[in-house]
Amino acid sequence: MKAIEIVKPGEMQVVDRNMPQVGNEDILLKIKYVGFCGSDLSTYLGKNPLVQYPRIPGHEISAIIQKVGKDAPAKFKAGQKVTVVPYTNCGQCSSCKQKRFNACRYNETLGVQRDGAMADYIVVPWQKVLVDDQLTDIQLGLVEPLTVGFHAIDNAQVTDIDTVMVFGCGMIGSGAIVRAHLRGATVIAVDIDDQKLQVAKKLGATHLINSVKQNLHDELVRITNDNGPTVVIEAAGSPVTYRSAIEEVAFAGRVVCIGYAKEDVDFPTKLWVQKELQIFGSRNANPSDFEAVIRYLKNSQLDSQLLISKTVQPDEASQAMREWSEAPGAILKILVEFGGLKS
């Protein structure tokens, strides 16, 4: 079969790989679409410390069941449309014992610590397969990236009395905006790209701030009557936005950190105490987040194309990744369409 492989930093190509073997509790999936994630971009740039090369990227999966292992439940049948929970969990660490499987100490994510889904076929344990024949192939490919933002909003326990500011309106930030809006919160979207801000508005953001063109603090004073947002979601991964999150969040507010900053961040620690802040990390997503996103995509009138910057064929993936690396702020989501590759 054919697969897309990041051979080394800056080099991606289509390669031949053996067909995966199907174990008794496995399911063989024929891939339809896989989305490029920010972690894949980091791998391509050589900035992902969790990756060893060569690596097949991809964990945002839309697929069809091709074959079912003999010990998998009877509910799984060939031809069903699916997405995949791409994380492992050991079941024994402190996080798993609290049923916070998303933060498993020994997690291995597809496309990061192990080969991912950018190939004709992939084998996964049946426990990680989510069947849904009502969603389109493209919608199934958008489930996992939206779950990460959904999970962050759950961590902050957002309700309809909150004002939620989201730093970074990429796919993860978009998921947070959607979930906060569904909870009835007032949402402030902050980004440096006007196109992304317009998408955020269509997803439910009430207020838009371009932090390059507008003064962030002054705008927040106006919008919140000088109280600040009660919740801040940091999905940009910048030292500047990390510091702003602490400075601008309301007293007794909550800050949820998703983005990985490329360098250590100095905080005004006195604000943690004076404001009595709750600061959360947020990693990956839990099965309940996948269920919530699937329900949202079924019931909303969202045009999925709103979230997709471009769809490419596997032999165009290298060029698409190179263009993304040169202008990361301009891309929301790149989908790679499989099916054109012949095994």
* Whole-angstrom distance, CA of residue 270 vs CA of residue 268: 6
* Whole-angstrom distance, CA of residue 114 vs CA of residue 131: 23
pLDDT interval class at 61 (50, 70, 90): very high
Q: 130: part of which helix (H) or strand (E)?
A: strand 129-131
Q: What is the DSSP letter of 11?
A: E
Nearest CA to 30 out of 2, 71, 57 is that of 2
Report the topology of domain 2-133+308-337.
Quinone Oxidoreductase; Chain A, domain 1 (3.90.180)
Q: What is the pLDDT of residues 206-236, one digit of tens each?
A: 999 999 999 999 999 999 999 999 999 999 9
Nearest CA to 161 out of 183, 177, 143 is that of 183
User: Cβ–Cβ contacts within 10 Å for residue 260, how many?
Assistant: 11
* Whole-angstrom distance, CA of residue 273 vs CA of residue 275: 5
Same fold across 2-133+308-337 and 147-281: no
Q: What is the pLDDT of residues 241-263, one digit of tens each?
A: 999 999 999 999 999 999 888 78
Question: What pLDDT is recorded for position 99?
Answer: 93
Query: What type of residue is 62?
Result: S
Q: What is the pLDDT of residues 133-144, one digit of tens each?
A: 999 999 999 999
Q: What is the pLDDT of residues 100-121, one digit of tens each?
A: 999 999 999 999 999 999 999 9
203 with 179: CB under 8 angstroms?
Answer: no
- In order of 8, 50, 232, 238, the CA distances from 193 in angstroms are 30, 29, 19, 15
**Pairing status of strand 81-84 against strand 129-131:** antiparallel
pLDDT interval class at 339 (50, 70, 90): confident
Q: What is the pTM of this model?
A: 0.94
Give the architecture-level CATH label for domain 147-281.
Answer: 3-Layer(aba) Sandwich (3.40)
* Whole-angstrom distance, CA of residue 233 vs CA of residue 257: 6
Which residue is associated with the tokens 């933060």? 103
Listed by start position, the domains of the chain span 2-133+308-337, 147-281
Nearest CA to 147 out of 295, 289, 304 is that of 289
pLDDT interval class at 340 (50, 70, 90): low
